[in-house]
């Protein structure tokens, strides 16, 4: 069995102080994908000192804008290849895409950690940036799907996509129509990925029709206590890995006080 976890840590140093690294240590992880690391290479390594991850292989793509974004992939086995960035040059150093080739349970798999821009429906420039990123992501997904279909290798794409796919993926879907993260044009991308391209949304595939389980709740208000969340964190798989996936769990904290991020980790187990 292999366990893959994706977690938007909302700042690795903040998550460390809140107990997030300790929580992840206890999850029995084989592959850990992080988003919003918000740290330099040195700060990320320092945050893992003394933990089970201290000796792991780390592939990290920080953002050129300090204290923002940043994605990473951690595994106990070395990575044979590391690739940073997706699509146009504007995303090459923004800390929003990293992929590695790594052995998982005897198979060489391409693993991606992705962090899509939030966007803003009332800000044309910000929303256009999000669509450019989703376009670039889609092109890479097409390539990885074609490679899987040809038998050249399986892939997992993990991360915070900042899009809730359907009404059962957001508690207050009626009140959020017209907002970034639940726009029809954004959701159409996921329709294409899970349809024509053949990717499987393992969180939904393994958890049933929903509603939820959600993976993000605002720090403000009572959304966490009332489970007024969004499901915007995903693990996508190519068919060979879909057949081996057997369980999905969202690691939501028991209480608001025990939260170490505004997201909860998504945990996928494979045979």
Cα 215 to Cα 109: distance, rounded to the nearest angstrom: 25
Q: In what helix (H) or strand (E) does residue 175 lie, and over which residues does it extend?
A: none
Radius of gyration for the chain, computed over Cα atoms and rounded to the nearest angstrom: 17
| Cβ partners under 8 Å of residue 222, min gap 6 | 228
| Cβ partners under 8 Å of residue 243, min gap 6 | none
**CA-angle at 241, arms to 114 and 181, nearest 5°:** 35
Question: Half-sphere exposure of 220 toward its Cβ, with a 13 Å CA cutoff?
Answer: 0
Token couple for 153: 């290798």
Catalytic residue among 30, 115, 214, 262: 115
Helix and strand numbers, DSSP H then E, in the chain: 7, 12
Residue indicated by tokens 């726009």: 183
Say if residues 36 and 160 touch (Cβ distance below 8 Å).
yes
Catalytic residue among 30, 133, 160, 169: 160
Tell me if residue 115 is catalytic.
yes
3-state secondary structure of 261: coil
Which residues are designated catalytic? 115, 160
């Amino acid at each position: 069995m292999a366990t893959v976890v994706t977690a938007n840590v909302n700042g690795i140093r903040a998550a460390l102080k809140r107990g997030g690294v300790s929580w992840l240590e206890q999850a029995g992880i084989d592959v850990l994908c992080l988003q919003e690391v918000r740290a330099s290479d040195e700060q990320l390594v320092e945050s893992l000192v003394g933990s089970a991850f201290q000796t792991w292989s780390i592939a990290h793509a920080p953002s050129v804008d300090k204290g923002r974004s940043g994605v990473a992939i951690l595994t106990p086995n070395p990575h044979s290849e590391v690739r940073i960035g997706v699509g146009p040059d504007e995303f090459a150093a923004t800390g929003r895409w990293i992929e590695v080739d790594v052995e998982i349970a005897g198979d060489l798999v391409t693993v991606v950690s992705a962090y899509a821009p939030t966007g803003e429906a009332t800000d044309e420039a910000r929303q256009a940036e999000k669509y450019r990123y989703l376009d670039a992501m889609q092109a890479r997904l097409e390539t990885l799907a074609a490679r899987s279909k040809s038998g050249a290798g399986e892939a997992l794409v993990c991360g915070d996509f900042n899009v809730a796919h359907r009404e059962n993926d957001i508690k207050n879907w009626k009140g959020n129509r017209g907002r970034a993260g639940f726009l029809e044009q954004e959701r159409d991308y996921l329709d294409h990925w899970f349809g024509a391209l053949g990717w499987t949304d393992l969180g939904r595939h393994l958890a049933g029709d929903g509603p939820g389980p959600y993976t993000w709740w605002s720090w403000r208000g009572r959304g966490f206590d009332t489970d007024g969340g969004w499901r915007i964190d995903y693990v996508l798989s190519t068919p060979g890995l879909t057949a081996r996936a057997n369980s999905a769990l969202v690691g939501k904290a028991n209480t608001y006080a025990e939260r170490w991020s505004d997201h909860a980790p998504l945990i996928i187990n494979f045979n």
